[in-house]
Amino acid sequence: MDFPGLINYWIVIILMMVGFYIVIAQGNLIKKIIGLNIFQVSVFIFYITVGKVSDGSAPIMAAGIDTYSNPLPHVLILTAIVVGVATTALGLAMIVRIRTAYNSIESDEIERAEILEDDK
């Protein structure tokens, strides 16, 4: 295990943990969604770095280039990004509905409102 060889994984893990912390520790639902996005991007970066080959170039055929980076992770992540934004939009739509139902986008306030409702 040499130092520079694995640094990409460490960056990914730190980013992932930042996203994870936002998701579990922040009460605001929009912040939670952004945290999920950060988590998601860290996974994307993980895939892309795995596919990177030293001295490789972008995977588009051209004369005089022999080494290409791995195109497979690119394909997977390309579709994942668009799916990610579609699911984010779904989450945001849910937040808008929650806001109209509970008049709040803070998770602890929503919990309190639910307890009040149960007591009735």
Q: Does 20 help bind other proteins (rule: CB under 8 A)? A: yes
Minimum distance, C-beta of residue 119 to other proteins, in the bound complex (Å): 15
Number of residues that bind other proteins (CB under 8 A): 92
Compose the 88-107 pattern: x for residues touching other proteins by CB under 8 A, - for all others.
xxx-xxxxxxxxxxx-xxx-
Cα separation, 36 vs 34, whole angstroms: 5
Q: How far is the CB of 80 from other proteins (least distance, A)?
A: 8
Could you tell me if 77 and 48 are in contact, meaning their C-beta atoms sit under 8 angstroms apart? yes
Q: Quick check: 62 binds other proteins (CB under 8 A)?
A: yes
Instruction: Determine if 116 is a binding residue for other proteins (CB under 8 A).
Output: no
Q: Give CA separation, 100 vs 23, 34, 37, 117, in Å.
A: 22, 21, 24, 16
Closest CA to 77 of 40, 112, 105, 106: 40
Among 24, 64, 115, 119, binds other proteins (CB under 8 A): 24
